[in-house]
Amino acid sequence: MLDQMLVWLQDVPPYLLYAALGTGAAVENIAPVIPADTFVLLGGFFAARGLASAEVVFLVTWASNVVFALVVYTVGYHYGDTFFQTRIGRYLLDPKQVEVVRKFYGRWGVPAIFYTRFLPGLRAVTPVFAGLIRQRPVSVVVPLVLASGIWYGALVWLGAFAGRNVDQLLGIQDRLNWTLTSIAGVIVVLLAGWWLRSRRRHKADVGSEPRAWPASGRPGTIE
């Protein structure tokens, strides 16, 4: 994918190059399988070759990704309560699980949002859930903006460091993707384990509740 984009983007005008990089960085928020990191690295690479400005690449990709992440958060914030009343919403998180997630975000939301901005896939999911459980805007905006700025600044530098060496750029991308995806995968497995355990526990609690019998017709009574 990256080598094909290199061929296509190196011949386009600067304004179209910036537009493509910004769009690619933004799309990750609704399609996590398209990592923004690839586009940021590309921008740094083109900057090193004199085809773009490193500062503009950073600002365009950073702003695009952050703004779109906040849009997704805002949508979730306004429609979260309605969503969790739907069949899909109740399947995703039952009411008790929603309360657990709310407590987690209330205590660990800021560091969770900050650190997941460095992890592909999870960085797109975290703002959505922050909105769905109605996390306070300031506790979402600040870590999201800061972490994204740090990460995209580092990626632009890495892309520029690769310079004219395409093989080096591809190697950097492969190592980054493998390392960060592995970390994100471990977290996803842990979250899936929590989801399954909590669902089974809640079902067991419901099954163990005493049945409410009518006044007449209880077991062992004679009418």
> Which residues have a Cβ under 8 Å from the Cβ of 184 and sit 6 or more positions away?
119, 120, 121, 122
Q: How do residues 66-123 score in pLDDT, each as one tens digit?
A: 999 999 999 988 887 787 778 887 777 777 877 888 888 888 888 989 998 888 888 8
Mean of per-residue pLDDT scores for the chain: 80
Residue type, 196: L
* Helices of type H across 84-165: 87-92, 95-116, 122-132, 137-162
How far is residue 116 CA from its own chain's centroid?
Answer: 7
Mean pLDDT, residues 198-222 taken together: 53
Statement: residue 148 has pLDDT above 90: yes
Mean pLDDT, residues 153-177 taken together: 78
Per-residue DSSP letter, 96: H
| pLDDT, greater one: 183 or 58 | 58
Per-residue DSSP letter, 84: T
Vertex 80: Cα angle to 76 and 86 (nearest 5)? 125
| pLDDT, greater one: 164 or 81 | 81
| pLDDT, greater one: 199 or 138 | 138
Mean pLDDT, residues 200-206 taken together: 62
Per-residue DSSP letter, 53: -
